[in-house]
Amino acid sequence: AATSNNYTLKQPMSGHTYKVTLDVHTELDIVWETDWRGKLVRVKQFRLIDSLPGPASEDGRIKIGHTLLEINGKPVPNDFHETIKNRC
């Protein structure tokens, strides 16, 4: 079984893409949002886990507004909710 998920994200202004690896056994603190068509997936906010920052916000590279491109090397398909259910 996998011990981590690899996320590829893009910064909106520069277009720079980067990869972040997070442990699958740690609760993810990112709250995602989609555009009205459900095609673009962005970081909406970070939530606290047990009153503390989680791994994504602690990483420091992930910011509100960054766009999710891939999870574990697979592009985010048109139905984002299926992606999350099947890969996370």
pLDDT(66) > 70: yes
Using the structure block, give the residue that is written with the tokens 């909106």. 12
- Please choose, from the candidates 23, 15, 31, the residue with its C-alpha nearest in 3D space to the C-alpha of residue 7: 23
pTM above 0.85, yes or no: no
What percent of the chain is modeled with pLDDT above 70? Answer: 85
For 41, the enclosing helix (H) or strand (E) is: strand 41-46
More confident residue, 87 or 42: 42
- What does the alpha-carbon distance between residue 42 and residue 35 come to, in Å, rounded to a whole number? 8
Mean pLDDT of 34-62: 90
Residues 6+ away with beta carbon under 8 Å from 37: none
